[in-house]
């Protein structure tokens, strides 16, 4: 079941095995992915990012390995946010530590081509500081349309989708060399990317240079093809791999669809027209939602098993105690909340609040790491956090082009020194296509409030303490005028903010 027959079939040039091949065959490949070591040993960084995972599948029953390693051994952020809740803008925030109004990426279209200062990004900064850097999996939307198979700036190793992401029948750029994967079980992209990640770790282990790896799975992104549901059997191609002996069956039909109080909300008349006009969810659509949820759970369970393999690789190579791991999703997803049966763009909690956990090994922190945190953190905080742990390398390129980071280091929340704002507001801003037309909004999410301005008379305000499922829109209510004015003022400042110091600082 290894990759060697696939290698021969694909006729990779000059005897080049590629990372996935090396990992699958345990060859301990030594490929030239970086220059000589620079500076003292610093922590390794592994950022595991998944695509469209809502919190409803982020639990120890579905993901036991992830919880035992990263969540139970680290800090889970109960107010971890995707700012904004859309794939490409979120990933651009990870890459730059900036909000869309400062990095240029407001939407999946045009995606990467809109990114400003493409040569001043997190991998560039870490590479210049002496890190070996790798991107494995999914990068920003339309990167391949812009740059083809060429690795993005700053990455020493590049093993990424070179066209449309998928679980089967997809292409990968392996440092600029095209690899094509088919529909066999061994081609399942989650497994392929995990093999590549393990190979990168194996090669980098024990070296004088620390490493940064951004491992971005396609799972659990929805794809056409979820099929029939029979008794205790679900047909989910191409979402989830099949258990041995059952080529199209997934063992998660016992899971009911989660139905919190916002599911199929009875009264949506207080919401904007794109929600207030939705019809109630009938039994047929509930059945389809249930199937999609079960397939999503199976997909994340498969990912979790591979995350267990990743942990073992770090342990076996002696790198586990030296490696900081961040797990997060690029946005959540809707499963019938507020009558929304799919998507993620709107700033309600199922789309905005995401699985978000960080593990810092004891040797890399000053004090105890709390098991949970209610601080509002987001994707924009990833880059400042890694730079902080790496010794604060300048966020600049060789030409001296530097970014002013909008995010904050999470180190004070992870057993490290410093402070973090208690009532911090995070900005979500979108300018995209929705329901077939232009759609834009700005929203602020604090630890206990969500305020969104869609333009015109469409606004929403929720008290998340008393109304965590966002059933009662308080915008325009006489008793909340003062609070709305205050949040609107904070939102206006955030929409033009830059950095974390000075008169235009982000919160």
User: Which of 1-15, 186-200, 234-248, 397-411 comes out lowest in average pLDDT?
Assistant: 1-15
Least confident of 12-26, 272-286, 446-460, 474-488: 12-26
**What sign for the dihedral angle of Cα 51, 57, 60, 62?**
negative
Band (pLDDT 50/70/90 cuts) for residue 247 is very low
Half-sphere exposure of 202 (CA within 13 A, CB side): 23
Mean pLDDT of the chain: 88
Does a cis peptide bond (omega within 30 degrees of 0) precede residue 392? no
Check pLDDT > 70 for residue 17. Answer: no
Topology of domain 43-225+290-413 in CATH is Alkaline Phosphatase, subunit A (3.40.720)
On the question of a cis peptide bond just before residue 167, with omega within 30 degrees of 0, the verdict is: no
What is the pLDDT at residue 254?
85
pLDDT at 223 over 70: no
Cβ neighbours of residue 474 closer than 8 Å, sequence gap 6 or more: 461, 462, 463, 480, 483, 484
- What is the rounded average pLDDT of the residues 360-387? 96
CB 350 within 8 A of CB 239: no
Distance from C-alpha of 465 to C-alpha of 448, rounded to nearest angstrom: 6
* Whole-number percent of the chain with pLDDT over 90: 78
Where residue 21 falls among pLDDT bands split at 50, 70, 90? very low
SS3 content of the chain, % helix, strand, coil (to 5): 30, 20, 50
**Residue 8: pLDDT above 70?**
no
Give the pLDDT of residue 41.
Answer: 66
pLDDT value of residue 298: 86
* Residue 14 clears pLDDT 70, i.e. is over it: no
Q: Angle of helix 382-389 relative to helix 87-96, nearest 10 degrees?
A: 20
Average pLDDT (353-379) is: 96
Share of the chain above pLDDT 70, in %: 86
Q: What is the pLDDT, as a whole number, of residue 252?
A: 81
pLDDT interval class at 435 (50, 70, 90): confident
Tell me the pLDDT band of 260, cut-offs 50, 70 and 90. very high
Residues 45-65 have pLDDT tens digits of 999 999 999 999 999 999 999
**DSSP H stretches of helix in 167-261:** 189-204
Closest Cα to residue 48, out of 218, 164, 183?
218
- pLDDT, mean of residues 323-347: 97
pLDDT digits (tens, 9 = 90+) for 261-285: 999 999 999 999 999 999 999 999 9
Domain boundaries defined on the chain:
43-225+290-413, 426-495
Helix (H) or strand (E) holding 308: helix 283-316
Assess contact for 43 and 210: CB atoms under 8 A: yes
Of 29-43, 236-250, 410-424, give the lowest mean pLDDT range.
29-43
pLDDT for residue 233 is more than 60: no
Can you tell me the mean pLDDT for 82-106?
Answer: 98
According to DSSP, residue 236 is labeled -
- Residue 291: what pLDDT? 86
Q: How far apart are CA 399 and CA 403, in angstroms?
A: 12
d(CA 19, CA 16) in angstroms, rounded, equals 9
CA of 492: how far to CAs of 11, 83, 181, 327, 353, in Å?
Answer: 56, 16, 47, 30, 22
pLDDT-derived band at 253, boundaries 50, 70, 90: confident
Helix (H) / strand (E) element for 179: namely: strand 177-181
Res 239: pLDDT:
54
Kindly indicate the confidence band of residue 10, based on its pLDDT and cuts at 50, 70 and 90: very low
The predicted structure's pLDDT at residue 2? 33
The domain defined by 426-495 folds into Arylsulfatase, C-terminal domain (3.30.1120)
Beta partners for residue 376, in sequence order:
79
Dump pLDDT digits (tens) for 65-79. 999 999 999 999 999
Average pLDDT over residues 385-397: 96
Question: Under a CB-based contact definition with an 8 Å cutoff, are residues 173 and 166 in contact?
Answer: no
How far is 490 from 55, CA to CA, in rounded Å? Answer: 27
């Amino acid at each position: 079941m290894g990759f060697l027959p696939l290698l021969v079939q694909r006729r990779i040039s000059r005897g080049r095995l590629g990372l996935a091949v090396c990992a699958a065959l345990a060859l301990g490949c030594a490929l030239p992915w970086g220059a000589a070591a620079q500076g003292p040993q610093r922590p390794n960084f592994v950022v595991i990012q998944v695509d469209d995972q809502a919190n409803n599948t982020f639990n120890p029953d579905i993901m036991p390995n992830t919880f035992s390693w990263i969540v139970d051994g680290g800090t889970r952020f109960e107010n971890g946010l995707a700012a904004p809740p859309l794939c490409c803008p979120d990933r651009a925030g990870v890459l730059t530590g900036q909000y869309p109004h400062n990095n240029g990426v407001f939407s999946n279209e045009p995606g990467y081509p809109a990114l400003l200062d493409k040569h001043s990004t997190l991998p560039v900064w870490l590479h210049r500081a002496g890190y070996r850097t790798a991107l494995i999996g999914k990068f920003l939307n339309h990167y391949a349309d812009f740059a083809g198979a060429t690795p993005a700036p700053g990455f020493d190793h590049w093993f990424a989708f070179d066209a449309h992401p998928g679980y089967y029948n997809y292409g990968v750029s392996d440092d600029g060399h095209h690899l094509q994967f088919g529909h066999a079980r061994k081609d399942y992209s989650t497994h392929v990317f995990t093999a590549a990640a393990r190979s990168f770790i194996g090669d980098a282990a024990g070296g004088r240079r620390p490493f940064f790896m951004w491992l971005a799975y396609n799972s659990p992104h929805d794809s056409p093809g979820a099929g029939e549901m029979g008794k205790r059997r679900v047909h989910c191609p191409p979402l989830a791999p099949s258990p041995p002996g059952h080529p199209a069956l997934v063992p998660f039909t016992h899971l009911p669809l989660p139905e919190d109080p916002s599911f199929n909300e009875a009264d949506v008349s207080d919401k904007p027209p794109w929600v207030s006009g939705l019809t109630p969810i009938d039994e047929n659509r509930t059945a389809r939602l249930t199937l999609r949820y079960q397939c999503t759970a199976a997909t994340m369970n498969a990912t979790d098993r591979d995350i267990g393999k990743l942990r073992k690789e770090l342990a076996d190579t002696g790198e586990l105690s030296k490696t900081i791991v961040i797990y997060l999703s690029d946005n959540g997803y809707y499963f019938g909340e507020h009558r929304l049966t799919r998507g993620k763009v709107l700033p309600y909690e199922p789309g905005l609040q995401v699985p978000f956990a960080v593990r810092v090994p004891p040797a890399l922190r000053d004090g105890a790491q709390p098991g949970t945190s209610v601080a509002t953190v987001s994707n924009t905080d990833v880059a400042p956090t890694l730079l902080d742990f790496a010794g604060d390398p300048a966020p600049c390129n060789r030409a001296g082009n530097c970014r002013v980071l909008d995010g904050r280091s999470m180190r004070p929340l992870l057993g490290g020194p410093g402070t973090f704002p208690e009532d911090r507001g995070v900005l979500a801003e979108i300018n995209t296509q929705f329901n077939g037309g232009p759609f834009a909004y700005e929203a602020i999410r604090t630890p206990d409030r969500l305020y969104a301005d869609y333009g015109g008379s469409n606004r929403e305000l929720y008290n998340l303490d008393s109304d965590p499922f966002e059933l009662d829109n308080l915008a325009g209510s006489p008793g909340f005028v003062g609070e709305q004015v205050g949040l609107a003022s904070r939102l206006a400042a955030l929409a033009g903010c830059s950095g974390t110091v000075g008169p235009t600082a982000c919160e």
